[in-house]
Structure 1
Amino acid sequence: MTIKHVIFTSQQSACERAAWSNWSVISITDINFADAPLQHGWQDVLRLKFDDISEINHDGYVRMGELQARAVIEFVQRMNEDKRCEGILVHCWAGVSRSAAVAKWISERYRLSFPKDYAYANQHVYMLLREESLLI
């Protein structure tokens, strides 16, 4: 089985959701926040910490870096090769920008559906994933 679904949502919604044993999670939290208290039972979880910024010069904030982008790419590739993983849930605090960017990249990479006119995905995250996926 290859990945057939990707969804993005808020941290609150992800944490309230009962785990799906055949789905994995990409959990994105702000740099100074605790890890999201996800329910036990997900197939696998990748935890990342970076802030929802695109510009490099925001004092005290950290944007997604190349190593984190590679971690996402490698995690998704591994889940796609795992015959048990049916989908990936991606969450960030609001479920609007960072998680949408990751979900958009996954959707394009694996030819999955994504809201056609969605305009709120973090462009830095999305473009970094696209660039790094060409290098791996």
Structure 2
Amino acid sequence: MIESVAFMSEKAACALEPRPGTALLSISNPGVHTVPLQEGWSPLLRVYFPDAGCDAGMLNFLGGYDKYLALGFPNHEHALAMRAFIESLRQSSSPYHLLVHCHAGRSRSVAVAKYVADLCSLPLEGDLSRLNETVLNLMRDPYYYAPVGYAHQVQLRPSAKHRLLRFFGLAR
């Protein structure tokens, strides 16, 4: 179960000592570096996506959702991973304090913390005025920006492992 949630900057998260009963969700920019967190965080989830937004205009400009995905912007895959991590904490019999960080601690981490606070009926302290609306929308509905039917298509696609096995003739 999640007892509390808070958001912070990367710098603040790096300075923290891991504590029993505290989980960390680390959001970093892709390709920059791995955030040098103190050893011993458990549970810990690291996800990588830029602090970017999405709307119909952006999708049209890029040429569709698949092009948007290829650029590594926040998308359903990130949201599904974070939601699974959060759900595992919620279903745990152990109580957890969840900390969420991003680079500045003002946008992506705030959106994820707001989602958790709403989901678990928890208070959330701090400035919420600059939260990343795209990330919040994706947390609420991972396929928010995907074309109609996209979620169904994704579920029907064979896994990468299955495609490789088929390629080498080891599966049908």
TM range (shorter): 0.7 to 0.9
In structure 2, the residue matched to 1:90 is 100
Is the contact made by 2:25 and 2:45 (CA closer than 8 Å) also made in structure 1? yes
Q: List alignment gaps of at least 5 residues for structure 2.
A: 63-67, 145-150, 152-172
Mapping 1:9-20, distance limit 5 Å: 9-20=8-19
Q: Name segments (4+ residues, structure 1) moved above 4 Å.
A: 56-61
Change (3 A) 1:81 1:123: same
In structure 2, the residue matched to 1:41 is 40
TM-score, normalised to structure 2, is 0.70
1 CA distance for matches of 2:44 and 2:23?
6
1 CA distance for matches of 2:126 and 2:27?
23
In the TM superposition, what whole-angstrom CA distance separates every residue of 1:17-67 from its partner, at most 9, and x where no partner exists?
111121111100001221111112222111000000103468996321101
2 CA distance for matches of 1:63 and 1:21?
33
In structure 2, the residue matched to 1:110 is 120
Is the contact made by 1:31 and 1:61 (CA closer than 8 Å) also made in structure 2? no
Is the contact made by 1:26 and 1:91 (CA closer than 8 Å) also made in structure 2? yes
Report which of the two structures shows the higher radius of gyration computed on alpha carbons: 2
The total of aligned residue pairs comes to: 134
Q: List alignment gaps of at least 5 residues for structure 1.
A: none
Is the contact made by 2:80 and 2:142 (CA closer than 8 Å) also made in structure 1? yes
**Helix, strand or coil at the partner of 1:132:** coil
Higher relative CO (CA 8 A, sep ≥ 6), structure 1 or 2?
1
Is the contact made by 2:77 and 2:142 (CA closer than 8 Å) also made in structure 1? no
- More helix, by proportion: 2
Aligned-residue Cα RMSD (Å) equals 2.5
**How many percent identity over aligned positions?**
29
1 CA distance for matches of 2:126 and 2:104?
20
In the TM superposition, what whole-angstrom CA distance separates every residue of 1:70-116 from its partner, at most 9, and x where no partner exists?
11111001011222242110000000000000000000001111248
In structure 2, the residue matched to 1:23 is 22
